[in-house]
Amino acid sequence: MDTDAPQPAGTDAPQPADTDTPQPAGTDAAFWQERRTCFLTTLRPDGSPHLTPVGVTYDPGTRIARVITDGASKKARNVRAALAAGGEARVAVAQVDGRRWCSLEGRAVVKDDPASVADAERRYAERYKTPRANPNRVVIEITVTRALGTAKPPGW
């Protein structure tokens, strides 16, 4: 099947997600489970983009993407600044593998409570490896509102 060809209307309708069942390699779900470097874009207070390589986990059941980082990182500061200014912290994460790619867009918050951080670390370890110890770690949680690309996760 030519993945560049337009798809019939209705093929992007959300489907039920099964987050407990590993997906076979080559599926769009596997694309968000395989180890690969992703990129996070946040906006600086002046509106210019800040792009950085990160590890991302994605839960298709809740449509939440997570990035673990140091609480003093520029990406965490950008999200906090947008929220403190009374606005939304609009962000995007993306990954690519040859002709397969996906961008997830949404609204971000920074969480520093131990339960949220531990959950994000567990998810990160499943996709990548156990993260190094960091007492200042936070998690950027992204409520995904749009998925674009040739390898969108289940439900998009």
Q: How many CA atoms within 13 Å lie on the side-chain side of 130?
A: 2
Per-residue model confidence as pLDDT tens for the chain (156 residues): 344 434 344 444 333 443 344 444 445 778 989 999 999 999 999 999 999 999 999 999 999 999 999 999 999 999 999 999 998 999 999 999 999 999 999 999 999 999 999 999 999 999 999 999 999 999 999 999 999 999 999 888
First-to-last C-alpha distance (Å) of the chain: 19
Nearest-5° Cα angle at 143, 109 to 155: 165
Burial (0-12, 13-18, 19+ Cβ within 10 Å), 140: buried
DSSP secondary structure letter of residue 41? E
Contact by Cβ (8 Å): 65, 142: yes
Q: Please report, as a single letter, which amino acid is at residue 73.
A: S
- The whole-number pLDDT of residue 95 equals 97
3-class DSSP state of 75: helix
